[in-house]
Amino acid sequence: MRVTSAEFIDLFRQKKLDEPLLVNLKTTLLTLLAVLHDAEEKQIVNPAVREWLKELKHAVFDAEYLLDEIDTEALRCKLEAG
């Protein structure tokens, strides 16, 4: 998971961001992935789960996009410094 890459953590520390927040973010993302997997199976028989799953997927994809952007910035900062 990108949240645990050395560059990501270094950027997090450089910006003096709250490290417990990083741990919570990782835990939340892992939980969401487990919920998505479970909902994928349940959507077959429950249309309400299907709609909820669609919305949750959008939120997870947005979070992954944001993490990609942060990871890219972390790598850019590392290259500029190094």
- CA 70 to CA 40: how far, in whole Å? 28
pLDDT at 2 over 70: no
pLDDT for residue 1 is more than 60: no
The pTM of the whole model exceeds 0.75: no
Spatial separation of the C-alpha atoms in residues 21 and 36, rounded to whole Å = 22
Is the torsion defined by CA of 18, 20, 25, 26 positive or negative? Answer: positive
Query: pLDDT tens digit string along 35-46?
Result: 888 888 888 888
Most confident of 4-8, 16-20, 75-79: 75-79
Q: Each residue of 19-29: pLDDT tens digit?
A: 677 778 778 88
Query: How do the domains of the chain map onto residue ranges?
Result: 2-76
